[in-house]
Amino acid sequence: MSSKREDLLVTAERLFYTHGFHAIGLKAIVQEAEVALMTLYNHFASKEELILEILNRREQAYFDVLRKVITEETGTVQEKLASAHLAWLKDTASNGCMFLRAKEEFSSDSDHPIVTSVNSHKENTIRFIQAYGLDRSEAMKLSLLFEGTTSLAETTDIKEVEDVLKSFVDCIEVS
């Protein structure tokens, strides 16, 4: 991947996450990334394509963090997944779920590719959890805990959120 493309993706993700998708135009992204507008269009046909790529990369980065913690830490699968989710929250600015923010901004069209991408991400997360031995119901419970944790991390001390999440995780059973 070219360094300019990477610069565009990193810059756009940060700006979108901080300010929102509709609030940031392509000119702001290219100025911040210090590339020409034509460079952006050489890599992405549209702002929508750029957003979809960012969401895809973010999902992969999230799953990479989960995999790493599951591999390296000890404890139950539920504890390791919760620990990984908390590590993700601590590493990223606490501005909530980028996927839900995207869905909110593009929800006027339920068939919009960005809305479809968000819906797929939420389902992919449940399936990811299931792959570690939890049935669908238990995976959904854990996913719901993660969603709530992400939301509360925006307004509450992360240590307090961490303690509450850890107290609930043991209630989820592996098949």
> Does 111 share its domain with 76?
yes
pLDDT recorded at residue 94: 74
> Is 106 inside any structural domain?
yes
pLDDT tens-digit profile of 49-98?
999 999 999 999 999 999 999 999 999 999 999 999 999 999 886 788 99
Asked whether residue 175 is domain-assigned, the answer is: no
What is the three-state SS of 68-103? HHHHHCCCCHHHHHHHHHHHHHHHCCCCCCHHHHHH
Same domain for 37 and 85? no
Angstrom CA distances, 80 to 52, 63, 85, stand at: 29, 13, 9
At residue 173, does pLDDT exceed 90? no
Instruction: Report the CATH number at residue 30.
Output: 1.10.10.60
pLDDT digits (tens, 9 = 90+) for 113-130: 999 999 999 999 999 999
In terms of pTM, does the model score above 0.85? yes
| Nearest by Cα to 73 from 84, 64, 62 | 84
Does 72 share its domain with 18?
no
In a domain, 122, yes or no: yes
Q: What's the pLDDT at 95?
A: 84
Structural domain that includes position 76: 54-169
pLDDT digits (tens, 9 = 90+) for 9-32: 999 999 999 999 999 999 999 999
